[in-house]
A and B are shown apart, each in its own frame.
Chain A
Amino acid sequence: MLLAIPTLVVISVCVFVFVRILPGDPAIAMAGMNATEQQVKAIGEKLGLNEPIYVQYYIWLKDLLTGHLGNSIKNQYPIAQLLRNKLPVTLVLTGGGMSLAIALALPIGLAAGAARSGIVRNLCTVWLGIMYAIPTFWLGIMLVIMFSMSCHCLPPNGYVAFSLDVGKGCVFFVLPWLTIAVKQSSVIGRYVQASYLEEAGKDYVSVARAKGIKESRVRMRHILRNALIPVITMIGLQLGGLLAGAVVTETIFNLPGLGRLMLSSLFMRDYPVLQILILFVGGGFVALNFLVDITYAIADPRITYE
């Protein structure tokens, strides 16, 4: 558990070095095409790019820990402000999509594992298999074709801030949410199915049945409760991946979130923004793992941490 902190430090070093390795000089990019060598040098000086890399890292880390995220090289916009603008979009996108996905995954996954009728089981398994193979971006495109191009009931892309109009804002999020939900529910659903089947084959289930406990109670109280514990880990990991996957979803639906910000700052060589964003995603991943461990202990009394 304590490993989270050193991991974060190492991540920050990796991010810093990694981003510096990227080709292209931001000072040249900023100075423009016709700048003289002196101008470029002066800009580099101002940004602190001429210091040795460990000094740069030290300054960056000190600023970071004292809450100074710095400014974007591109337009001098404060990064904290950028995050404040873009983060809600990504959070609403992933949070909404994931909640829907869980709501879909549990019934479908359980039906695929435990339904009495073989047809339902097979149908659900095939559905999960196909949705598992479909790439998110193609699923998004297909949904746009179905809901926006054919029946014109939802906008294909765009964004209205929730602060302006909650209803309109939601309408623009319906297709992105649906895309994430269908895709993620297949990943989680398959896991639910496998986990359920594994638990159902264990000895304690036979014991419970032999004791004459009602079948529905065996399924709900005995198998399901145990089967869902590993699913928690799965959901946590998927959520972390989803933060990164926002790059793709936001590109399809033209949503102004962190993913698109990351992509654009990558192309612009906007070091400060890029570092914070990658650190943010990596840190989010570590934090989620930490949370998963804690939920684990709550869900399963057998697990204790020293």
Chain B
Amino acid sequence: MNRLRFVLDGWRRSLGLLLGKRSGRQLLGGIMLLLLFLLLSLVLPIIGTMEPYTSHRRSALEGPSKAHPFGTDEIGRDMLARVLYGSRISLCTIVVTLVLSVPLGTLVGVSAGFLGGVWDMLIMRVIDIWLSFPGLIVAIVLVVAIGSGPMTAMIAIGIISIPKVVRITRSKTLSLRQMAFVEATRAAGASNTYIILRTLLPNIMGIVYVQMALIAGFAVLMEATLSFLGLGSTPPVPSWGSLLRKSITYLSRAPWYGISPGVFLTGLILITNMIADALNRIYRE
């Protein structure tokens, strides 16, 4: 019991510290909004009477009404349901991208920065050449190479995010390696593995978190872009990008069609940017 109180007390104090600063409040607000998104996309479709796949051909392309707050699409499916379901693809993309890019990128970046020499030079050459192609082009070619679909789009986005992580973790490792406390750990007889895992990593995680938030926003944007170009999610599964792609066809008859997916898409990116910004300020201090 005492131990529990101790832990709770610690949490309360760190929460107080976090809330005491503007960046902390911004971070918590962003995380709250993100959780709201998660809740909307996971819970609402289960408990509500959402029908993203049922079409009512008689009520095709209807404007916003009480029954359909966001209107209906070209075969009379409820847009609200489709937009809410669309957030699943985006959130899923975030998870897949982060899982693919962050551990691998950190490993490569830290090892390149720490070991230096040929390994470092090799890695950096590869990254330089890789980054001399714009990410969007690499993603498009990758998706076509593996075969277009929602999963391949996510994998492609994960792959093009790797160099971002490598670059940032490598440069941080390089600057940390010179620090006295790393030297001291080495002088105390610690092995390389120990230094990397226990001394360097905890100090690198800050910028990795910032990078994760940035990559999350990038992933959402990329998925939507690929779907918009017709390379991401396949019908009938709704994704914000493919909804926007469709909306272009009906722009003159149903202008509202393109509004709701875009608002949600921009909202989610805005939230991730907000979190990244707050994290950045917290870790810089």
Contacts and interface: CB of A to CB of B under 8 A. Distances in A.
Interface residues of A, number: 45
Interface string B262-273: 100110011001
Interface string A115-149: 00000000000000110111101100110110011
Nearest to B130: A14
Contacts of A285: 132-134
Interface string A239-250: 011011101100
B80 to A, nearest CB: 18
Contacts of A14: 129
B132 A11 contact: yes
Contacts, number: 110
B258 A145 contact: yes
A134 B134 CA distance: 19
Given A22-B144, A133-B270, A263-B229, A7 B128 contact: yes
Main SS class of interface, A: helix
A141 B269 contact: no
B132, B225, B248, B266 pick with most chain A CB within 10 angstroms: B132
Interface residues of B, number: 34
Contacts of A3: 128
B271 to A, nearest CB: 9
Contact of B136 (A19, A138, A148, A247): A247
Given A22-B145, A141-B248, A142-B262, A244 B134 contact: yes
A43 interface: no
Interface string A241-282: 101110110011000000000110011000000000010011
13 contacts: A3-B128, A7-B128, A18-B141, A23-B147, A135-B269, A137-B225, A138-B244, A138-B262, A141-B251, A244-B134, A245-B136, A248-B136, A278-B141
Closest 9 CB pairs of A and B: A244-B134, A138-B262, A133-B270, A133-B269, A141-B258, A244-B136, A145-B255, A244-B137, A134-B266
Interface of A: 3, 7, 10-11, 14, 18-19, 21-23, 129-130, 132-135, 137-138, 141-142, 144-145, 148-150, 156, 240-241, 243-245, 247-248, 251-252, 262-263, 266-267, 278, 281-282, 285-286, 289
Interface of B: 128-129, 132-137, 140-141, 144-145, 147, 217, 221, 224-225, 228-229, 244, 247-248, 251-252, 255, 258-259, 261-262, 265-266, 269-270, 273
